[in-house]
């Protein structure tokens, strides 16, 4: 380990991991949503435990103002105004961009679908090496919110079934959690800002979903058209009907299915607890009363009324409006070198590679190629990586013997499952916590004859929501340094820990 970390500079020139038992980082989490945008600045303390650094403390020292995400006349995100807002928040936090060690930039909701979403990432181009940037599609955002809201932690801590519903500006995300894991999820086009209006109820903007709800309510939407409170109420009641169906509170019909952005819940049930997050939750829990020219207050009232007699106990989330800002990334460093396979060597380094940890069926003597591929596909879809636009690191724990037949089935199942990625000539990146990396990489290359770059390393422990950097092979040892960037959830959302009361 020492030979590797001597070469790894951590966050500023002259600081090496080997020389410091404790490292303090400044991090920022940035959430650009369809409705609101905001930042959270944190201090992270890491301590050396054995040959790894782990997070021992995370404290938020500045929460930004809340900005209604600005749009141009053609409804693209106004990157100039957003940039000015971000600059102001850095100033209010007493920081310059150069003071930031690491961070996470997350685009969510309808914001991801805007034509200039890529321009938002360019606001942080100068910090590209420090930031993990995620365009969170519906599956990933729902997953993030399940953990950021504390629902996953609550389900494990209290041994119950917990549902969280995150109602934002453009979409609502529904996650059902049990034993600290998400067992079901979906998302639907129901949100506070799918229709917006001025002080005299004249329509200023609407999404396609808003037009559909209005049409169903017998209301014609057009810019400048004035709609009555009664008409708005009819629209909101229809939205609540659809949301309640998506949550499993009523039989789901075809109109609701057409609004879903993910598959419907597989096994709808009445959860033990129900929490809400997102912008609309501020009204549900009476933290906000002011209106912002949208459906938020009326939608919150309708939802709260509808679920009152459903059955679940309604509880507050660990994080509400800021549930998706899961903090900035932390770093840990590990080294893989005993049995690895990298070909060609020029494949490395790779940076900010998202990690998937599929539940692979590896227990039996005869591995099923199709079952392996399907498990990988489920993991890719959950994290919105199934389009194959970027390389992923598949992390697994090998079980059983390493016979030719089992190795062959494993490699072919992995290659089949990762086909959307490999078909784009992106590298196959495999990470095991055992000592089998070299053997699997060699089998993929020489036996299966995969004609794609292969990086197969081992001795590394990863989890979902991690991103990794894998450095170039070190001439002195043939090892590779692996830097792990983990999304850090709020302390009250930590599994197995009690929720701290908030004054």
Listed in sequence order, the residues at least 6 apart from 51 whose beta carbon sits closer than 8 Å to its beta carbon are 1, 334, 335
- How many helices (DSSP H) and strands (DSSP E) are in the chain? 14, 21
| Cis-peptide, bond into residue 308, ω within 30° of zero | no
273: left (phi over 0), alpha (psi -120 to 50) or beta: beta
**Going by C-beta distance under 8 Å and a sequence separation of 6 or more, which residues neighbour residue 116?**
76, 77, 79
Contact status, residue 130 vs residue 9, Cβ threshold 8 Å:
no
8 A C-beta contact, residue 177 and residue 146:
yes
Distance between CA 37 and CA 110 in Å, rounded? Answer: 12
Pair 114, 77: CB distance under 8 Å: yes
Write down the pLDDT at residue 156: 94
What is the distance between the alpha carbons of residues 456 and 475, in angstroms, rounded to a whole number?
Answer: 18
CB count within 10 Å of CB 78 equals 17
Going by their DSSP bridges, the two strands 22-32 and 36-49 should be labelled as antiparallel
For 226-382, strand residue ranges (E) read 273-277, 313-314, 329-336, 341-343, 350-356
Residue 8 class from Cβ within 10 Å (0-12 exposed, 13-18 middle, 19+ buried)?
middle
Residues near 113 by beta carbon (within 8 Å), at least 6 away in sequence: none
Say whether the peptide bond before residue 52 is cis (omega within 30 degrees of 0). Answer: no
* SS3 annotation, 94-145: CCCHHHCCEEEEEECHHHHHCCCHHHHHHCCHHHCCCEEEEECCHHHHHHHH
Please name which of 100, 116, 108 lies closest in space to residue 38, comparing C-alpha atoms: 108
Q: Across the strands, what pairs with 194?
A: none
pTM of the model: 0.77
pLDDT of residue 162: 97
Return phi, psi of residue 53, to 5°: -110, 130
Per-residue pLDDT of the chain (503 residues; tens, 9 = 90+): 233 333 222 223 333 344 456 778 888 888 888 778 889 898 888 877 765 667 788 888 999 998 988 888 777 788 889 889 999 999 999 999 888 888 888 877 666 666 656 667 667 766 656 777 676 678 888 988 899 899 999 999 999 999 999 999 889 999 999 999 999 999 999 999 999 999 999 999 899 999 999 999 999 999 999 999 999 999 999 999 999 999 999 999 999 999 999 999 998 989 999 999 998 999 999 998 888 899 999 999 999 999 988 989 999 998 887 777 766 677 777 777 667 899 999 999 998 899 999 999 999 999 999 999 999 999 999 898 999 989 999 999 999 999 999 999 999 999 999 999 999 999 999 999 888 999 999 999 999 999 999 999 988 888 888 999 898 887 666 778 888 888 877 666 665 554 444 33
Please name the helix (run of DSSP H) or strand (run of DSSP E) that holds residue 31, with its range, or none. strand 22-32
Dist CA 194 CA 196 (whole Å): 7
Nearest to 328 by CA among 206, 465, 460: 465
Please give the Cα distance from 220 to 321 (Å, whole number).
Answer: 31
With a CB cutoff of 8 Å and minimum separation 6, the contacts of 39 are: 28, 29, 30, 31, 63, 64, 86, 89, 93, 325
Give the span between the Cα atoms of 391 and 354, in whole angstroms. 8
Residue at token pair 């919150």: 300
Torsion angle in degrees (nearest 10) through CA of 142, 145, 151, 152: 70
Helices in 334-425 by DSSP H: which ranges?
A: 369-382, 404-417, 419-422
CA distance 121 to 116: 10
Task: Determine the Cα–Cα distance for residues 491 and 488; give it in Å rounded to an integer.
Answer: 9
Residue in 174, 152, 149 with CA at minimum distance from that of residue 161: 152
pLDDT of residue 251: 93
């Amino acid at each position: 380990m020492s030979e590797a970390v001597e070469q790894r500079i951590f966050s500023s020139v002259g600081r090496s991991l080997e020389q410091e038992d404790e490292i303090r980082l400044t991090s920022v989490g940035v959430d650009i949503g369809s409705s609101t945008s905001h930042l959270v600045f944190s201090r992270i303390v890491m301590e050396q435990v054995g040959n790894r650094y782990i997070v021992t403390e995370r404290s938020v020292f500045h929460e930004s103002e809340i900005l209604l995400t600005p749009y141009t006349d053609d409804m693209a995100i106004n990157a100039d105004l957003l940039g000015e807002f971000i600059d102001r928040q850095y100033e209010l936090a007493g920081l310059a961009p150069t003071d930031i060690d690491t961070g996470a930039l997350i685009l969510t909701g309808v914001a991801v679908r805007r034509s200039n979403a890529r321009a938002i990432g360019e606001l942080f181009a100068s910090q590209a090496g420090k930031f993990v940037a995620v365009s969170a599609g519906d599956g990933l955002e729902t997953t993030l919110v399940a953990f950021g809201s504390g629902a996953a932690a609550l389900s494990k801590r209290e041994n119950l079934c917990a549902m969280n519903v995150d109602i934002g500006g453009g979409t609502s995300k529904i996650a059902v959690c049990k034993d600290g894991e998400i067992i079901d999820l979906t998302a639907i086009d129901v949100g506070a800002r799918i229709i917006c209006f001025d002080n005299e109820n004249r329509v200023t903007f609407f999404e396609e979903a808003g037009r559909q709800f209005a049409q169903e309510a017998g209301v014609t939407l057009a810019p400048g058209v004035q709609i009555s409170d009664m008409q708005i109420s009819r629209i909101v009641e229809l939205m609540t009907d659809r949301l309640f169906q998506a949550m499993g509170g009523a039989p789901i019909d075809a109109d609701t299915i057409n609004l879903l952005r993910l598959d419907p819940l597989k096994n709808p049930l009445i959860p033990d607890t129900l929490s809400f997050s997102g912008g609309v939750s501020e009204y549900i829990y009476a933290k906000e009363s002011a209106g912002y020219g949208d459906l938020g207050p009326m939608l919150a009232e309708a939802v709260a009324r509808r679920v009152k007699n459903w059955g679940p106990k309604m509880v507050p989330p660990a994080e509400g409006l800021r549930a998706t800002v899961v903090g900035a990334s932390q770093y840990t460093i590990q080294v893989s070198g005993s049995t690895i396979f990298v070909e060609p060597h020029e494949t490395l380094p790779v940076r900010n590679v998202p990690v998937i940890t599929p539940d692979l069926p590896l227990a039996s003597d005869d591995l099923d190629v199709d079952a392996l591929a399907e498990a990988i596909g489920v993991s890719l879809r959950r994290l919105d990586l199934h389009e194959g636009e970027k390389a992923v690191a598949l992390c697994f724990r090998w079980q059983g013997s390493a016979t030719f037949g089992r190795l062959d089935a494993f490699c072919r199942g992995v290659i089949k499952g990762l086909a959307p990625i490999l078909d784009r000539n992106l590298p196959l990146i495999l990470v095991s916590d055992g000592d089998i990396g070299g053997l699997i990489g060699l089998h993929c290359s020489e036996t299966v004859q995969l004609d794609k770059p292969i990086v197969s390393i081992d001795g590394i422990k990863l989890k979902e929501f991690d991103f990794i950097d894998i450095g170039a092979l070190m001439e002195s040892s043939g090892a590779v340094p692996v830097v792990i960037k983990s999304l850090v959830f709020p302390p009250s959302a930590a599994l197995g820990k009690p929720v701290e009361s908030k004054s």
